[in-house]
A and B are shown apart, each in its own frame.
Chain A
């Protein structure tokens, strides 16, 4: 069964600070994704990657960078965190057309 883990599970950051969210998957899936979820909304795609050392912009990439140093690891980077980036962030990997999600990271920017 697909295993996607995220760290940290929860984080409080200060406005203007740098935040890195990490994701690790153990099933050799090529595709990995970062989504954000806001209260009352579905998931929105920030960045994704289909191969190591390459990332693609999703639907809401502004204010975020992504890094895929290996097939197993995919990071989301907020260079200058802002209040509007308070949300829950989910990482996912994809097998065929089905996505498997990590447990989420709750980010609060103060």
Chain B
């Protein structure tokens, strides 16, 4: 069975700095997909970025990028030039079949001035 673990409960960073959130996954499958989602204070859940296991290049979307370390089963989310609006809960998730997503527990990010 798949499992996703986010060990960082909460992170606080100063605005305009770079932050990395950790995520470790477990899977028996050779092909899988990894995702990061953001949950805002209003409760809205938004898809941010994905990494396909067969791709060696780290995905990048806007000021979000991933640090995919396949041998370590790790998929870190990097946010550069953080803004106050980045304050949210960030969830890592994985799927192999595409049918079912397994989510981590989430990391609270607080960005302060």
Please determine whether B100 and A98 come into contact, CB atoms closer than 8 angstroms. no
Majority secondary structure, A binding face: strand
Q: Say which one of A15-23, A35-43, A69-77, A78-86 lies at the interface with B.
A: A35-43
Task: Give which listed residue, A31, A33, A50, A103, contacts B43 with CB less than 8 A.
Answer: A103
Please determine whether B33 and A97 come into contact, CB atoms closer than 8 angstroms. yes
Please determine whether B43 and A88 come into contact, CB atoms closer than 8 angstroms. yes
B112 contacts chain A at the CB level, 8 A cutoff: no
Please determine whether B91 and A42 come into contact, CB atoms closer than 8 angstroms. yes
Interface size on A, residues (CB 8 A): 23
Please determine whether B99 and A48 come into contact, CB atoms closer than 8 angstroms. yes
Answer whether A45 and B101 are a contact pair too, CB < 8 Å, given A97-B33, A97-B50: yes
Task: Give which listed residue, B33, B45, B102, B105, contacts A101 with CB less than 8 A.
Answer: B45
Q: Which residues of chain B come closer than 8 Å to A31, judged between CB atoms?
A: 99
A108 contacts chain B at the CB level, 8 A cutoff: no
Q: Which residues of chain B come closer than 8 Å to A59, judged between CB atoms?
A: 100
Task: Give which listed residue, B44, B47, B100, B104, contacts A103 with CB less than 8 A.
Answer: B44
Please determine whether A42 and B33 come into contact, CB atoms closer than 8 angstroms. no
